[in-house]
């Protein structure tokens, strides 16, 4: 049963935020500044936007410069070892800032903080870390900060999982064109390689009325690209006392007046239905891009991963989607070198990639996560060999992506301009409905956050370049 935080509890936190604001003003003598850095997935980005909303209620101004910050907060990710290493490296690097500014508050939150061995390491080896909280008690940030400021002692908050859903938390969004909208939290799938159910808890969905209310607000604020978020959006609605599922939710959002695109992630193949595919095909505002992580193309490996679908079932869904959705763009996640995987089994993944023809892939060499079943499996293939497989996969996908880009040449696409190009000066960049990045020459900053039409002139492997047709669409 989902634990919904009461309006009274949220109002209490907002009142405490006002008290914290006074304490911080006394502590710093002027308006304090907060530096917030996010690691990991879009779910973490959405969490950070709400964390910033609460920090703002507490009197903080946001800054992009650690050196001028009165609060440095890292929202962490536990999905891969590399992400954890980066966090510890950066926490170690800011020790000097704490030494030069004793009033600096250092806080860590997010998925890493839900792991007891991580918390113990931080407590023993990083004494200058002041505040630690997890994924389940972010709405209590004002209370946590008040405790630290009034007691003057480190606060490592209780990690007891209560699986709350808190509504009414303000958000400071990072992007002027794109908005992230969580619709559910947690995961019940327990894939053998994944730590998410242990750090994010079990699945719980937001009430559809709350989602629709926030969605309408986002549209009213002018956002054109709205992504529905969840560890497994396909299971949305389970446990709610209303007749709702993910397909029905998309149809309700599609009926809201306005010019916008609905996206979603992440989607689990075992819960992906033909009903959902039909919904995407029939809803004009639903993006024709589907991210459907397959992880492996071999049935034995999929079983060891506890994915609960077969290669054949996955391809059946893909073929149905190709038949129903015009202009479909497909992306996926692939794990290379799962424990016990042979090259012959990996070859099945290569053949599936060829058959599907993904627009792009997110590919990773297996990373063992403490507490998962996969961490206990025999893993005889050396990393160097897995890296060769990884390169082979990347080379294959690069050629497929190049073909996709070549097919786009000469065609005109509706593009949401997101901002300046990251690769070329004097260029703007945006995404097609199919989530392909397009760069085009323009110095007209008024286009940012608006839809425009761009004709592709130069296909590249991972993006395309083009020319602006008009800005009136």
**Per residue in 294-314, pLDDT tens?**
999 999 999 999 999 999 999
Q: Which residues partner with 466 through β-bridges?
A: 456
Question: 10 Å Cβ neighbour count for 335?
Answer: 22
- Reported as a pLDDT band with limits 50, 70 and 90, residue 473 is very low
**Per residue in 188-223, pLDDT tens?**
999 999 999 999 989 999 999 999 999 999 999 999
CA dihedral 219, 221, 225, 228 (to 10 degrees): -60
Q: What is the pLDDT of residue 162?
A: 66
**CA dist 258 → 20, 203, 226, 255, 299 (Å):** 39, 31, 12, 9, 43
Q: What is the pLDDT of residue 462?
A: 83
- Arithmetic mean of pLDDT, 58-83: 94
Does the structure show a pLDDT above 60 at 87? yes
Domains of the chain: 3-164 (3.40.50.12160), 175-286 (3.30.750.210), 288-407 (3.30.750.200), 412-470 (2.40.50.140)
DSSP 196-207: HHHHH-S-EEPP
- Arithmetic mean of pLDDT, 141-157: 95
Report d(CA 195, CA 192) in Å as an integer. Answer: 8
**Per residue in 395-413, pLDDT tens?**
999 999 999 999 999 999 9
Q: What is the pLDDT of residue 1?
A: 62
Q: What is the pLDDT of residue 122?
A: 95
- Please state the pTM of the whole predicted model: 0.94
Does the structure show a pLDDT above 90 at 79? no
Residues with Cβ within 8 Å of residue 370, at least 6 apart in sequence: 115, 117, 195
Q: Write the burial class of residue 250 (CB in 10 Å: 0-12 exposed, 13-18 middle, 19+ buried).
A: buried
């Amino acid at each position: 049963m989902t634990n919904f935080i009461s309006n009274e509890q949220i109002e209490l936190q907002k009142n405490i935020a006002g008290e914290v604001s006074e304490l911080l003003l006394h502590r710093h003598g002027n308006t304090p500044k907060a530096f917030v850095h996010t690691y990991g997935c879009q779910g973490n980005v959405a969490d950070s936007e709400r964390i910033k909303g609460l920090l703002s209620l507490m009197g903080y101004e946001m800054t992009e410069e650690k050196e001028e910050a009165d609060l440095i907060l890292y929202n962490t990710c536990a999905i891969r070892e590399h992400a954890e290493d980066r966090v510890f490296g950066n926490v170690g690097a800011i020790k000097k800032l704490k030494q030069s500014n004793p009033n600096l508050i250092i806080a860590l939150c997010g998925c890493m903080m839900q792991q007891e061995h991580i918390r113990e390491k931080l407590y023993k080896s990083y004494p200058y870390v002041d505040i630690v909280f997890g994924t389940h008690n972010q709405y209590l940030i004002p209370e946590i900060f008040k405790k630290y400021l009034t007691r003057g002692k480190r606060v490592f908050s209780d990690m007891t999982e209560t699986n709350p859903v808190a509504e009414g938390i303000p958000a400071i969004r990072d992007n002027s064109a794109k908005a992230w909208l969580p619709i559910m939290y947690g995961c019940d799938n327990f894939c053998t390689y994944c730590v998410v159910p242990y750090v994010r808890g079990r699945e719980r969905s937001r009430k559809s009325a709350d989602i629709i209310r926030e969605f309408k607000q986002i549209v009213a604020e002018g956002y054109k690209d709205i992504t529905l978020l969840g560890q497994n959006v396909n299971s949305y609605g389970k446990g709610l006392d209303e007749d709702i599922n993910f397909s029905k939710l998309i149809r309700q959002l599609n009926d809201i007046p306005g010019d916008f695109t609905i996206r979603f992630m992440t989607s689990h193949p075992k819960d992906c239905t033909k009903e959902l595919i039909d919904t995407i095909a029939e809803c004009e505002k639903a993006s024709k891009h589907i991210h459907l992580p397959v992880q492996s193309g071999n049935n034995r490996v999929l079983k060891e991963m506890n994915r609960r679908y077969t290669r054949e079932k996955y391809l059946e869904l893909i073929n149905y989607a190709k038949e129903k959705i015009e202009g479909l763009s497909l992306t996926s996640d692939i794990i290379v070198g799962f424990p016990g995987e042979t090259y012959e089994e990996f070859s099945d993944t290569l053949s599936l990639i060829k058959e599907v023809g993904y627009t792009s892939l997110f590919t990773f060499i297996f990373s063992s996560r403490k507490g998962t079943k996969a961490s206990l499996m025999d893993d005889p293939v050396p990393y160097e060999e897995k890296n060769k497989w990884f390169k082979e996969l990347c080379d294959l996908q690069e050629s497929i992506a190049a073909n996709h880009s070549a097919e786009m040449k000469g065609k005109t696409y509706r593009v949401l301009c997101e901002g300046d190009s990251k690769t070329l000066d004097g260029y703007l960049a945006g995404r097609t409905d199919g989530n392909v990045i397009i760069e085009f020459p323009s110095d007209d900053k008024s286009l940012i956050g608006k839809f425009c039409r761009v004709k592709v002139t130069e296909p590249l492997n991972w993006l395309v370049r083009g020319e602006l047709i008009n800005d009136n669409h």
